[in-house]
Amino acid sequence: MEKEVREHMRDGKGAVEILHVFRQKELRGKVRLFARLRLQKDCSIGYHLHDEEEEIFYIFSGTGRVTEGDTISVVGPGDAVLTGGGGGHSIENPGEEPLDFLATILLY
């Protein structure tokens, strides 16, 4: 598994720690991303669209805030979020502990 740190991902705040569980080239299915992500306190991934694909967030630990269009949802362990079909979203960690989640992007 390969680790990566991205600063200001999608114009978000701070850094996103990414553990690529599998890379796209390792998978035979239509998957662009299959990774465990970690956001520290006050870090975020900025708002972005998913056209011709969908992204799933599955929360392992921590508390997050997901914005989808005009809707803001608080998420925690065991919650899942699905965004796709031209919709957009962002995610941020307003909590004290790290926000750990699985992010999977499936292509149409």
Q: 87: domain range?
A: 2-107
Report how far apart, in Å, the C-alpha atoms of 61 and of each of 9, 32, 103, 106 are: 20, 23, 13, 23
Query: What is the distance between the alpha carbons of residues 12 and 69, in angstroms, rounded to a whole number?
Result: 16
Q: How many domains does the chain have?
A: 1
Which residues, in sequence order, are CB contacts of 101 under 8 Å at separation 6+? 36, 37, 57, 58, 59, 60, 62, 64, 91
Strand pairing category for 64-68 and 88-92: antiparallel
How confident is the model over 48-92, as pLDDT tens digits? 999 999 999 999 999 999 999 899 999 999 999 999 999 999 999
77: domain CATH number is 2.60.120.10
Looking at the whole model, is its pTM more than 0.75? Answer: yes
pLDDT-based confidence at 18, cuts 50/70/90?
A: very high
Query: What is the distance between the alpha carbons of residues 65 and 92, in angstroms, rounded to a whole number?
Result: 5
Query: What is the distance between the alpha carbons of residues 2 and 74, in angstroms, rounded to a whole number?
Result: 29
